[in-house]
Amino acid sequence: MARAGLSREAVVRIAVDLVDAGGPGGFADLTLAKVAAQAGVATPSLYKHVGSLAALRREVCVVAVEDYTRALTDATVGLAGPDAVAALAHATRRYARAHPGRYAAVQVAPDPDDPADAALSAAASRSVQVVAAVLRGFDLPEDRTIDAIRSVRASLHGFVALEVGGGYRLHDDLDRSFDLHVRAVLAGLGSLSQPD
């Protein structure tokens, strides 16, 4: 029998907390058995609230993407151009450092052809819209907007994923390196606005 008060929302919240507590590998290591143990129920009891581990992971991704999007929006509201991109970059780094497991869940791309991914697709679309709004200040040609979004995302993700995963072991100032990285991203965006 499921614990009194256990609901789908409560199961998802427990899963999100476990993902956060698990560090960079928290999302990959998420299991129904871990959630059930944390909830104080037998694993089969979870099926009253979530259909499968895949469904639970999808729910965690939606929570993570929505949370990440709020962080980006809060950081960039009222800013434009290079200031907005720098704020977005620093917000991404802060989020990944504070929630490395949840940040890993943000990276899961929804399948646009799978109806089960509809909520995640909608959340991901809102996140992309925030980045697109940030990039409007660069007067990019319309056909380069998606390229620019992908480039910014890949570049920032590369830096912060290496950082939270322990990939930077040298004693040099990592904050300085990140600031220089952001400057390089801005220079790249500037070049995209130029004709070929």
Q: 75: pLDDT confidence band, cut at 50, 70 and 90?
A: very high
For CA atoms 79, 83, 85, 91, the dihedral sign is: negative
Q: 4: pLDDT confidence band, cut at 50, 70 and 90?
A: low
Cβ proximity of 127 and 181 under 8 Å = no
What tens digit of pLDDT does each residue of 165-185 get? 999 888 789 999 999 999 999
Q: 196: pLDDT confidence band, cut at 50, 70 and 90?
A: low
Task: Give the closest residue to 5 by CA, choosing from 32, 45, 53, 61.
Answer: 45
CA distance 100 to 27: 9
Residue boundaries of the structural domains of the chain = 58-192
CA distance 98 to 133: 25
CA distance 27 to 164: 14
The answer, yes or no, to whether residue 145 has pLDDT greater than 80, is yes
Q: What is the mean pLDDT of residues 112-126?
A: 95
The answer, yes or no, to whether residue 53 has pLDDT greater than 50, is yes
Q: 2: pLDDT confidence band, cut at 50, 70 and 90?
A: very low
Q: What is the mean pLDDT of residues 20-46?
A: 95
Tell me the angle at which helices 8-21 and 53-76 cross, rounded to the nearest 10 degrees: 70
Q: How large is the C-alpha radius of gyration of the chain?
A: 19
What superfamily does domain 58-192 belong to in CATH? Tetracycline Repressor, domain 2 (1.10.357.10)
The answer, yes or no, to whether residue 42 has pLDDT greater than 80, is yes
Q: What is the reported pLDDT for 148?
A: 93
| Half-sphere exposure at residue 65, Cβ-oriented, CA atoms within 13 angstroms | 25
Residue 145 token pair: 């907007």
Q: Which amino acid belongs to residue 46?
A: L
Farthest-apart Cα atoms in the chain, separation: 65
The pTM assigned to this predicted structure is: 0.91
What tens digit of pLDDT does each residue of 78-104 get? 999 999 999 999 999 999 999 999 999
Residue 17 token pair: 């907390």
Residue 11 token pair: 């199961």
Q: What is the mean pLDDT of residues 28-45?
A: 96
Q: Which helix (H) or strand (E) holds 37?
A: helix 32-39
